Amino acid sequence: MPVSDNHDTIFAPATAAGRAGVAVIRVSGPDARHCIECLAGSCPAPRYMSLRRLKFASDSDETIDQALVVFFEARSSYTGESMAEFHVHGGRATLARVLEALSGIPGLRMAAPGEFTRRALINGKLDLTQAEGLADLIDAETESQRRQALALTEGRFSSQIASWRGRLIDGLALIEAAIEFGDEVDISDEDLAAVRSNISEIGRELKLILEASAFSKKVREGFEVALVGPPNVGKSSLINMLAEKESAIVSPIAGTTRDVLRIPVDINGLYVTFLDMAGLRDTSDEIEKIGVERALLSAEAADIRILMSSADTRAEADLVKCRDNDIRVWAKCDNGVGPGDINLSTVTGDGVAQLLDMIFTTLSRRAAGSGYAAHKRQLDGLRNAVDELEAALNTNDEEVCAAHAKYAIRALEGIVDPVGAEDVLDEVFARFCIGK
């Protein structure tokens, strides 16, 4: 998206397309008040919603709709500019007619994806980590994703970065004072040692955030749980039960599943993707052999593996090496119970709730260790800061130490405010919908 011109006025629907009770159209820019006057005749007092009859033009007799209209002054708006909102009935025809009326006002144009939020960033209403959190919040499908996104949106990560930056600036000021005015100021070796200790502590805190980032990413993007076992053990039947629909083909013919089928499921607020894969067995069928190889690779990368076996199928132990967090399931227990962590039947439903509880318990422990940072851009900034802080500690030259401390500060600042990095902004705001 090209850099927005904050001197023009943009508009777009803020609600999803389709039939709905209400549709909201946003306007932002210097002509926001004029837009209300053109369609509604007069502008209500700021931040007060008013019921108005919208017309195609101020001097027209054609009524488009009765709508709630609100005006925001720049200081109290989302974008930091004058804003207007039209809350109209949500039919497609009504929305299209209002957009047509707005497009006929000179100087107005349709907003690009994320342009409202980009203007909010430019005008200091939020920083880039908050904008990324807002995009995550819009995309959130589970409670854990919502909580993590909200933490970013509310500025908790930004506040943490500001704290690290402030502590580094305080230490840097002391080092530079010792370099520039060593004979004139009373700075002891103990003072400089304390600065280095503080740098070390900040580096440790940054590393903890990076260690937790793997879990943060999993909360944001989802955990993977692989169903592993021989053909006809009941993997596809279990997938269909979890998906609550016929997602996988169930057949008595062994080797029906060839590729990896991914089914997303919300388990008590955790986003989990179940993987149904080819049954594991030695086979001479070249296509099935590829499916088995893909199944083994997917199983190895999964966060949890459900190792399934039953009385009428061969055990999978010779093809899969067990891990600590594997869950062993004895399937088809309606035909008789067997060894394993859980006895399960997709016919009666026995054991399914217990399986989901075990998965949730295991994954929620990992989710509890997650932090705020989950975006590659954020993590790269933290890693750069850690590298600079370690370089600062690995030198006895105070000038070199100060230089690396400055680079670390810049790396942290770049996370919340990447000055001049338009390509970074373009990538972030491309995730947004038109009206946000």
- Annotated binding-site residues for K(+) read 232, 251, 253, 256
Binding-site sequence positions for GTP: 232-237, 251-257
> In 3D, which of 281, 276, 273, 218 has the Cα closest to residue 255?
281
Distance from C-alpha of 199 to C-alpha of 127, rounded to nearest angstrom: 25
How does DSSP classify residue 196? H
Binding-site sequence positions: 26, 85, 125, 232-237, 251-257, 436
Distance from C-alpha of 191 to C-alpha of 343, rounded to nearest angstrom: 64
Strands 9-13 and 108-110, sheet pairing:
parallel
Binding-site sequence positions for (6S)-5-formyl-5,6,7,8-tetrahydrofolate: 26, 85, 125, 436
CB of 294 closer than 8 Å to CB of 273: no
Distance from C-alpha of 13 to C-alpha of 86, rounded to nearest angstrom: 9
CB of 379 closer than 8 Å to CB of 230: no
Binding-site sequence positions for Mg(2+): 236, 257
Residues whose CB falls within 8 Å of the CB of residue 165, separated by 6 or more in sequence, listed in order: 409, 412, 413
> In 3D, which of 316, 247, 315 has the Cα closest to residue 275?
247
Supply the DSSP string of 396-424, one letter for each residue.
Answer: S-HHHHHHHHHHHHHHHHHHH--TT-HHH
Question: Backbone phi, then psi, for 425, in 5-degree steps?
Answer: -65, -40
Whole-number Cα distances in Å, 255 to 176, 230, 280: 70, 9, 9
Q: Which stretch of DSSP H or E encloses residue 122?
A: helix 115-122
Give the amino acid at 121.
L
156-181 vs 398-416: helix axis angle to the nearest 10? 160
As a whole number of Å, the end-to-end CA separation of the chain is: 14
